[in-house]
Structure 1
Amino acid sequence: MNIPETGVPRIVVIGGGFAGISFIKQLRNEKVQIVLFDRHNYHTFQPLLYQVSTAGLEPDSIAYPLRKVFRKNKDFHFRMAEVENINTENNSIATSIGNLRYDYLVLATGTRTNFFGNESIAKNSMPMKTVPQALNIRSLMLQNIEMADITTDEVERKRLLNFVIAGAGPTGVELAGALAEFRKGILENDYPELDEDEMNVHLIEGQNRVLPPMSEAVSKKAQKYLEKLGVQLHLETLISDFDGKTVTTKDGKKFETATFIWAAGVTGALVKGIDGEALVEKANRYKVDEFNKIVSFNNIYALGDIALMETKEYPKGHPQVAQPAIQQGKNLGKNFKKMLKGEKLEPFKYFDKGTMATVGRNKAVVDIGKMHFGGAIAWFLWMFVHLWFLVGFRNRVVTFFNWTYSYINYDRAARLIIRPFKK
């Protein structure tokens, strides 16, 4: 691999998500060499993936080139490749484009979709963890509506217009709300031959309420918003199978559908080569100390979703969301600067800035400390926070104007089948 040896410590970072970006930004002017590996050449703002999948935003509004993010970093190198294995004895990694030695290794690979071992669901459902997957959902959704518009088979039309979502966490709730608003704002105008009531949105959750990670107060508000939008909720319901046409639950319910979106869980995206006491297999996360160093290793660190740091407040590790990843990356970057100077390191302390989810137009819920509220104020706060954390000024501007246009016109401008989806 053509990475030059420059005589300074080489830090290899795997993953260009929130944690990886936050870490590298701290080392912009330090005398280190940074090599970043990622399967894609862009950073994805995952909290807004659901808007791409429901035609609210174009994918380039939530993606940003990784090389551009770090163009001001000295001795920075990006390689688009798959990291296949870590050789901890030789301090090297094996990738799809060759091997590379490291002095320090930082793992920030995030999560992947968890199908809980159900092969039929893994094969036939639609996950939503990447931009290509979000585009697949957008294409399938629009293709199914187009087919429903021309079919004369009432049973087939019902199946094509039945949208089933598994998992009522923030992703599932936001998807359900967006689909319900699509039905209300688009179907009547674009497809006059279809009855709005023919399109159904089902949200299935195994627990007894929506948004289980959030407070009960906002959970009730979110449920009220979803029901007002016409989303059909199925709580305390577990899915057992999906054969490509029928979703079957453990209590015998059946949903005929052509669009089944799986948003029911994630698991750590591990890299082969680190196991033993450093790996918590049940959680698929690496056990780290208060400095994000993986136990049993002196020069390997883990950040964000794959890092399990046990604390009094978080005995099972921090939540697998953006803020812990951002804060851990920032703290580790600062500690690397201290380490290079021989100074004392600062242990990581998580500052919980709250949790929020949007259900639809003027409908969002927010948990901040002891404050729990919803409605229009929560919705505007949600928009501001998401705009603030988007990477790139252009992305913020484009997203803001898209949202403003959609708000005024009740429209979703990205209703394009650019790349037809085929199973």
Structure 2
Amino acid sequence: MDTTQNTKFPLIVIVGGGFGGIELAKQLAKEPVEILLLDKHNYHSFPPLLYQVATGSLECEAIAFSLRKNFEGQKNLRFRVAEVTGVNTQNNYLETTIGEIAYDYLVMATGSTTNFFGNKDIEHNAMPMKTIPEALNLRYMFLQNLEQAVIAPTREEREPYLTFVMVGAGPTGVELAGSFAELKNHVLSKDYPELKKEEMQVYLVDFLPKVLGPMSEDSSAKAKGYLEKMGVNLMLGVKVESYDGTELKFEGGKVIRTKNVVWSAGVMGVVPEGISEDLLVKGNRIKTDEICRVVGTSNIFAIGDVGASVTEATPNGHPGVAQVAIQQGKKLAENLVHLIKGEPTEAFKYNDLGSMATIGRNKAVADLGKIKLSGFIAWLTWMFIHLISLLGFKNKVITFIAWLGSYMTYNGGTRLIIRRYVREVAPEAAAAAQLPKTD
């Protein structure tokens, strides 16, 4: 068993290089501890801008930053590309793709993934967008479908290729719907003069009766108005029943013919094997106490989307947003030092800095405490906050230039099909077809 520990200091293993994991590691930089950071990728991505990668406005390199470079010079930290396959909580070690790793303290900052609520057909045929590879898959799929629409001889045959449906009217769904609407209104006729923009349809679907459910009524209403003005078809208070890759069916019988369905209707925590199911709460999150320590353990912690600090004040845990993970990472760093020194710990208290969403050019909404912003000023605020939150000066410059070019030309991005996206055959379908084996 490799402990990767070369000193007498306690070893803190952090699983996940997202917002929470990075903040925790940075805060421990000068403390007498050894840190091992594990992630299945060698980069940190910026999820709030994934939708711009998916629609071709930004290249993926603009929202990704090397984890090794981020911690360059931090002497008490080592990084390994690895995927955790199990946790042995009794004997304090992880099972990973690079072997077993012992720990003194374990912090799970594994984030979340798309929740399809057990619907295997939708899981196989709809497109998720939680990672850079998934965003690129979505980009290539919709570009390929536009190319198919160009060569389809009739409007009826073009319809499914030119119909785009976002399921889930949270920030991701709203921002994607706005981006596709702008592509329809400003780009389609330039890149594809054979296609009429009236044929391209953009839908935003949710089982809730409003868009941006967690935000204020005023911001929700403003966003709804912006989307309608941009030509987005809103279907609120409806429930998706199934999707087979061609037809999206709803309870009540309505059907939309489409090859483009993006599923952003829910997320669930990424929990390694070995964590008792008794500790999991709604959203597949791990139940923790007021210092983010997994209930029933003394040296295992969960922060960010995968953890749910269940208290009287927060019976369902905190919202799955970046600020929660960042603040939890900072407070946990303090508490880990207290625990190592045998000192009292302090409960985590979330400071809600507000929420915002952009709908399109000069259109955004923001709830900043008692301050409610919309329109151009909210759009500028959204741009500024997201720009300064990106890791790396180069990434900030690249993103700013891309945004400036898009604003000035109404036609930013390159929208290249670098590789083709081919949906894998569902295991059930392959078995039913009795596909022959090949040598």
Q: TM-score category by the smaller chain?
A: over 0.9
Number of residue pairs the alignment of both structures matches: 422
The reply to whether residue 309 of structure 1 matches residue 309 of structure 2 is yes
Instruction: Kindly report the root-mean-square deviation, in angstroms, between the aligned alpha carbons of the 2 structures.
Output: 1.3
Q: Deviation per CA, 1:138-178: give whole Å up to 9, x if none.
A: 11111111111122132221111001110001000000000
- Kindly report which structure 2 residues correspond to 1:86-97, keeping only aligned pairs within 5 A, or say none: 86-97=87-98
Partner residue in 1 for 2:367: 367
Aligned residues of 1:28 and 1:72 also touching (Cα < 8 A): no
Secondary structure of 1:67 counterpart: helix
Partner residue in 2 for 1:15: 16
- Kindly report which structure 2 residues correspond to 1:123-142, keeping only aligned pairs within 5 A, or say none: 123-142=124-143
Secondary structure of 1:328 counterpart: helix
Shift of 1:29: 1.8
Q: Distance in 1 between matches of 2:335 and 2:5?
A: 25
Aligned-partner residue type, residue 208 of structure 2: Q
Q: Deviation per CA, 1:86-138: give whole Å up to 9, x if none.
A: 00111000011210110000000111110000010001110001100000111
Secondary structure of 1:212 counterpart: coil
Distance 1:335 1:414, change over 3 A: farther
Partner residue in 2 for 1:288: 288
Aligned residues of 1:16 and 1:108 also touching (Cα < 8 A): yes
Shift of 1:74: 1.3
Q: Distance in 2 between matches of 1:344 and 1:73?
A: 27
Aligned residues of 2:128 and 2:134 also touching (Cα < 8 A): yes
- Kindly report which structure 2 residues correspond to 1:78-117, keeping only aligned pairs within 5 A, or say none: 78-117=79-118
Shift of 1:243: 0.5
Aligned residues of 2:289 and 2:311 also touching (Cα < 8 A): no
Moved more, 85-94 or 334-343: 334-343
Secondary structure of 1:137 counterpart: helix
Q: Distance in 2 between matches of 1:373 and 1:29?
A: 40
Partner residue in 1 for 2:420: 420
Aligned residues of 1:288 and 1:309 also touching (Cα < 8 A): yes
Gaps of 5+ in 1: none
Q: How high is the TM-score relative to the length of structure 2?
A: 0.94
Q: Deviation per CA, 1:388-414: give whole Å up to 9, x if none.
A: 111111111111111111111112223
Q: Distance in 1 between matches of 2:73 and 2:150?
A: 51
Partner residue in 1 for 2:330: 330
Q: How high is the TM-score relative to the length of structure 1?
A: 0.97
Shift of 1:79: 1.4
Q: Distance in 2 between matches of 1:27 and 1:229?
A: 47
Partner residue in 2 for 1:396: 396
Q: Deviation per CA, 1:322-350: give whole Å up to 9, x if none.
A: 11011000111122233444443222111
Shift of 1:277: 4.6
Shift of 1:295: 1.2
Q: Distance in 2 between matches of 1:404 and 1:373?
A: 22
Q: Distance in 1 between matches of 2:94 and 2:340?
A: 23
State, as a whole percentage, how many aligned pairs show the same letter: 51
Distance 1:315 1:81, change over 3 A: same
Gaps of 5+ in 2: 424-439
